[in-house]
Structure formats: structure tokens, C-alpha cells
Amino acid sequence: MASKTYDNAVRALDGLLFDGMTIAAGGFGLCGIPENLILAIRDSGVKNLTIVSNNCGVDHFGLGFLLDTRQIRKMVSSYVGENDEFMRQYLAGELEIEFNPQGTLAERLRAGGAGIAGFYTKTGVGTAVAEGKEHKEFDGETYILERGIRTDLAIVKAWKGDAQGNLTYRRTAMNFNPECAAAGKVTVAEVEQIVPVGTLDKMAIHTPGIFVQRITTGSFEKRIEKRTVRAA
């Protein structure tokens, strides 16, 4: 089997980026975000992107980098409260937002990765989330149809990976990464360690290599999103 490893994020994305594409990006806040791949996307200059991610990073870091350079046209997210530039662009009509309840977003990604075109859920019934969506009755309860999400590209961050693309995430850094990895037509993973094939605990492989086409590593800043302290 040919190796899927690339020297750096720029090479790992070579030939995959184009204007107007849809990208699923793993992470929750600043936890488990593909830092190097986001920077490589920024530096490529690709524009008019639709980004599917739980949130959009913070000001001037993570996906916030792509807001600074106006490369994002639309965000499909469940939470956007930590980014002032996000708020400014949205209120100015410069950024389109598709809000999703958090569980619905995760399930839309999971469904897309599993080849499920859509599913019905009670979440969002009677709210703005349900506007324009098909409603259906099951056992006397109203549900709305949500579509599975498939993206042109998925970028994810893992703790360990091997040359076949098998990935292990570390604790809460798993978050949306497995769902994003499965939802991408092409998935690029960045990892902290690339280990020899066969050394990962088979029971701890969270994303099988069949979902991952390219893998790379790099250095990580791992910022703390919020720090709460108290006097000694």
C-alpha cells in the first residue's frame, strides 16, 4: 500500500484546493483543531469557502485566520460566540451563517460519512432552525428533515496516525474530528506523531485509514481559549 504521508501541510493540500469549495474542519473551540492545515489554506489564497465546523476559532487564530483574510463566504456552525470579527462580518452582511443545533451538526456529518442522505429529528421543531425544512409526523410527534453533509475536503487533527491514515485522537480533542474525517470526499489529517504501521492499538483507532487520503505532521501552538484564575 502506498504511503499517505506528506512532509508538511502545504504539500498535503497540494492539488486539493479550489475557490468555492466546502471544507469540514474538526475541532471544538481551539481544542483539536488542524492548525497547520488552516494556515496552509490561508496562505494558498483560495476564497469563497464554505466551512463546516462547530465554531470559527477565535479572533486571529484557528479558523479566525480565514475570517481575517475574507476567505470564508459561509459558515455552517453550531456556536459562534468567541469571535468578534465573525460577529462584525455577519452583522455587516459579509458572511453567511447556517446555524445548527450542536447534536444535529454532528449527526449531519456522521450521516454524510455513512452515506445517509438525510434523517428526521425533533430538535429545532418550532424554531427558526425548522424554517424551510420538511416536517413529518411520527407516532404523533413532529420531526424535521435534516440533510447529511458531504464536503469537498475535510481537515482534521489527531494525536497519532500511521502511514495508512489510521488515526487516534486524545481525549476531548476527538470532538468533531471523526465525523468530519468521514464526511470529506478527501480527508487530510495532521497528527502530533506518525507511528509505524501496526503499532497503534487496534481498539484505539478512532478513524480507520479508509477515510483518510493524506496525513502530515507539524508543530502546534495549542492555545488556551479561556483561562479562569483566582487569587491564591
178-195 pLDDT tens trace: 999 999 999 999 999 999
Is the per-residue pLDDT at 127 higher than 90? yes
At residue 2, does pLDDT exceed 80?
Answer: no
Does 145 have pLDDT greater than 80?
yes
81: Cα separation from own chain's centroid: 17
What was the pLDDT predicted at 7?
95
Checking if the pLDDT of 30 tops 70, the result is: yes
Q: Given phi > 0 = left and psi -120 to 50 = alpha, else beta, which region is 150?
A: beta
Alpha carbon separation from 28 to 52, 93, 136, 187 (Å, rounded): 12, 25, 32, 18
Beta strands in 72-112 (DSSP E): 72-77, 96-99
Q: pLDDT band at 231, cuts 50/70/90? A: confident
Q: Is the pLDDT of residue 81 over 90?
A: no
For the cut 80, the answer to whether the pLDDT of residue 39 exceeds it is: yes
Confidence of residue 1 (pLDDT cuts 50, 70, 90): low
0.85 exceeded by pTM: yes
Local confidence band at 219 (pLDDT 50, 70, 90 cut-offs): confident
